[in-house]
Amino acid sequence: MLRDRYGLGLSTASQAARDAYVEGVDLFLSANFGSEAAFERAIAADEGFALAHAALGRTRQLYSKPDAARQSVTRARDLMPGLGRQERANVEILATLVDGNGPAPLPFALEHLAEFPRDVMVLAPCAGVFGLIGFSGRKGRELEQVAQLDALASAYGDDWWFLSSHAFALDEVGRLEEARRAIERAQQIYPRNAHGAHVYAHVLYESGEDAAGLAYLEGWLPDLPRESQLHCHLSWHVALWNFDLGNVEAARRVYAADVRPGGAWGPPINVLTDSASLLWRMQLAGHAGDPAQWREVRDYALREFPRAGITFVDVHTALACAAAGDTTALQVLVAQLREREAAGRLAAGQLVPALAEAFGAYVRGDWAGVIDRIEPVLGEHERIGGSRAQRDLVEYTLASALMRAGRAPQGPLRRRGGRGRACLPFAR
């Protein structure tokens, strides 16, 4: 029987199909461009290769091709009767993800991984800050994520993908030295791992090494095709570090070329959240840009995500509507969020509408309104998903409102690198 790189059997007799599938998985796991074409080659070599159809569907989902993604997983499901238990579960979990059922696949995936820990295409969507655990809305989800990967470390050993994923989870709970060792080893094994470059950027950010982080990404990023999944988000890190280091015009140039809607290619979730968060940080610091930029982000948010439902997206859509001065759209979004909360369908609970209302209050200059809404929920902001670096904007918004109201923030801003340093100079 042919096997994948993780030792699991594959239901194909074609060596060409197997090799293309393994290549596609590695390109997918490293967020490099070309995974879709590799899975298509695997299917061309063996049209009945169910796992290749399922992986193609998942890839197309991440590349914002929903109709094609659903067609792929439909074909994979059609082929399930001829599969063994491990492959059937793999197909069904990936297909359920493509169906758009939110966190529904997570219990099934965790049960499957207990038996087949090296089924990497099932583990991948469970890991990361945008994964099934990351977007679960649960309190303590960062510790849950790192505990899951700690338990699987022996199953993966010196695998570059697992090391980079584990490093990200370690980074998010402050285990920075362990995270640095893991990600440096991962990048030594596979230097062109875009997910690994991203994780290393986060380790440097959390360690307070802004200049080193900027130099690393400016050296690494030029060889990554713009069509790659993470090009937009890695560019956000470059822009953010330029801004933090005082290179405001450089940050604006990177934003215009590689982050903003129409400038960047990237999954809509990245384009929206990266654009809104960078513009907001700059505005907090007194560097408000062209109002047309906010309208562009607002329009993009409402077009790509017309209804509430993805917590991390909802927070940034609220930010874009508030900053664009669109009180009507913000009110509609808050009403949708309150409706979902009342129905028990808002994973992060009242945190999300509270933040949405806080952003509206900030734009109105209602500093007390900002403080009253954020302070009670600040300790729970991990529930919105995303990384700590991305969620810093919540704390920065509160700190700015406190200072504008003539009050000092309670304690230092979140410590990075053990130095208690805040990178953002707030305008008074």
Cα 327 to Cα 321: distance, rounded to the nearest angstrom: 7
Provide the percentage of residues in the chain whose pLDDT is more than 70. Answer: 96
Torsion angle defined by CA atoms of residues 378, 239, 236 and 35, in that order, rounded to the nearest 10 degrees: -160
Give backbone dihedrals phi and psi of 264, rounded to 5 degrees, phi first.
-100, 150
* Contact indicator for 35, 27 with CB cutoff of 8 Å: yes
Element (H, E) at 148: helix 141-156
Which of 79, 100, 121 is the last residue before a domain boundary?
A: 100
Q: Considering 76, 100, 124, which residue would you say is the last residue of a domain?
A: 100
Whether 311 is covered by a domain: the verdict is yes
Instruction: Tell me the CATH number at 76.
Output: 1.25.40.10
| pLDDT exceeds 50 at position 420 | no
The answer to whether position 276 is within a domain reads yes
Comparing CA positions, the residue from 29, 78, 76, 33 lying closest to residue 51 is 76
Q: Which comes out higher in pLDDT, residue 304 or 288?
A: 304
Spatial distance between the Cα atoms of 404 and 410, rounded to a whole number of angstroms = 14
Q: Which domain holds residue 92?
A: 1-100
Residue 185 neighbours by CB distance under 10 Å: 15
List % helix, strand, coil for the chain (3-state, nearest 5): 70, 0, 30
149 occurs within a structural domain: no
Examine residue 65 and state whether it is found in any structural domain, yes or no. Answer: yes
Please tell me the total count of domains within the chain: 2
pLDDT in tens, 203-221: 999 999 999 999 999 999 9
Q: What is the DSSP letter of 82?
A: G
pLDDT over 50 (residue 418): no
Whether residue 126 lies inside any domain: the answer is no
Q: What is residue 414's predicted lDDT score, i.e. its pLDDT?
A: 60
Q: Does residue 364 sit in helix, strand or coil?
A: helix
pLDDT reported for residue 422: 41
Handedness of CA 32, 56, 233, 262 (dihedral sign): positive
Amino acid at 56: L
What pairs with residue 45 in β-bridges?
A: none
Take residue 363 and report the two structure tokens written for it. 């734009």
Name which of 77-86, 94-103, 193-202 the model is least confident about: 94-103
Inside any domain, residue 201:
no
Contact (CB, 8 A) for 412 and 422: yes
| pLDDT above 50: residue 154 | yes
Q: Is residue 163 part of a domain?
A: no
Specify if 186 maps to a domain.
Answer: no
The two three-digit tokens of residue 18, written as one number: 């197997």
In 191-258, alpha helices (H): 194-206, 210-220, 231-244, 248-258
Smallest Cα–Cα separation from 239: which of 269, 208, 275, 212?
A: 275
Q: Cα separations (Å) of 385 from 255, 260, 408?
A: 23, 21, 27
Alpha carbons 35 and 31: distance in angstroms, whole number: 8
Residue 403 near residue 428, CB atoms below 8 Å: yes
Q: By three-state DSSP, how is residue 9 classified?
A: strand
Taking CA atoms, 236 is separated from 161, 171, 175, 352, 389, in Å, by 22, 19, 24, 23, 11
pLDDT in tens, 351-410: 999 999 999 999 999 999 999 999 999 999 999 999 999 999 999 999 999 999 999 876
pTM: 0.94
Decide: 10 and 21 in contact? Cβ < 8 Å.
Answer: yes
Q: Say which amino acid occupies 44.
A: A
End of a domain among 75, 100, 125? Answer: 100
**pLDDT for position 412:** 55
pLDDT of 413 above 80 = no
Handedness of CA 243, 245, 248, 249 (dihedral sign): negative
